[in-house]
Amino acid sequence: MEKETQKISNGVKEEKKNQKVENESNLSQSKAVIRKKFNGLVVSDKMDKTIVVKVDRSKMNSKYGKRYIANKKYKVHDEKNQYKEGDKVVFRQCRPISKEKKWRVLYNTQKK
């Protein structure tokens, strides 16, 4: 009786191990990289192959409900130095290029 229960429990343990290995292999194959994407206004193009882009976001005060605009500046990689101050651009997250530069410009939406 004890030998039968040990055989059953060993079989169950092996099945669980096989399921874990299958799940891990499925995760590694279907794992998609999620990259953030923003659009903003170029405020500086003085650096070589780098532009500074300001992104405005609308936020709401939690207590009073008043809306206000918060902005943040990102250093974005511009390989050809083609974007100038005043351009509206779309950029996305990429691998780190330097200490502060983790964004790459995609395209220009409108020239000012």
101 pLDDT higher than 80: yes
The residues near 62 (Cβ < 8 Å, ≥ 6 apart) are: none
Residue 4 has a pLDDT of 57
- Tokens 């500074």 identify what position? 52
Q: How far apart are CA 22 and CA 90, in angstroms?
A: 39
Angstrom distances, CA of residue 31 to CA of 10, 60, 104: 32, 34, 22
User: What's the whole-number mean pLDDT along residues 19-38?
Assistant: 69
The residues near 26 (Cβ < 8 Å, ≥ 6 apart) are: none
CATH class for the region spanning 37-110: mainly beta
99: its two tokens: 């200490």
Q: How confident is the model at residue 32 (pLDDT cuts 50, 70, 90)?
A: confident
24 pLDDT higher than 70: no
Q: How far apart are CA 50 and CA 25, in angstroms?
A: 39
pTM for the model stands at 0.69
